[in-house]
Amino acid sequence: GESVGLHLPTLSVQEGDNSIINCAYSNSASDYFIWYKQESGKGPQFIIDIRSNMDKRQGQRVTVLLNKTVKHLSLQIAATQPGDSAVYFCAESNAGNNRKLIWGLGTSLAVNP
């Protein structure tokens, strides 16, 4: 049979390689940005955040880059592991809208052992 549905962008990497996931955001008034990881059947899990007064922030194995000029956000994962396989979403918010999150299109990351 044939399945019909929305196909997420997919990034396939080898274990140990670095991964870069990109996201375009929509609202120039957004001042807070978050990356979430979502595994199948689970709620989104916080990875890292960044405020608009910064252009780079590093965590453990992850780095977020923010380019406000072109409204672009990226997530870099170093030494990608099989446990990193999931769907990754960026989200934006601002203080003027009760900090509700506006979500980008997710990217499915597949890590090949």
Partner 1 sequence: DTGVSQDPRHKITKRGQNVTFRCDPISEHNRLYWYRQTLGQGPEFLTYFQNEAQLEKSRLLSDRFSAERPKGSFSTLEIQRTEQGDSAMYLCASRGGGEQFFGPGTRLTVL
Contacts of 111 (CB under 8 A, 6+ apart): 13, 14, 15, 19, 80, 81, 82, 83, 84, 85
Q: Which of 111, 90, 112 is nearest to 32 (CA)?
A: 90
24 sits near partner 1 (criterion: CB under 8 A):
no
Residue choice 1, 43, 83, 113 for contact with partner 1 (CB under 8 A): 43
Chain positions 60 to 99 lying near partner 1, rule: CB under 8 A, are 89, 91, 97-99
Instruction: Rank residues 53 and 98 by Cβ distance to partner 1 and give the closer one.
Output: 98
Instruction: Rank residues 75 and 104 by Cβ distance to partner 1 and give the closer one.
Output: 104
Chain positions 46 to 65 lying near partner 1, rule: CB under 8 A, are 46, 49
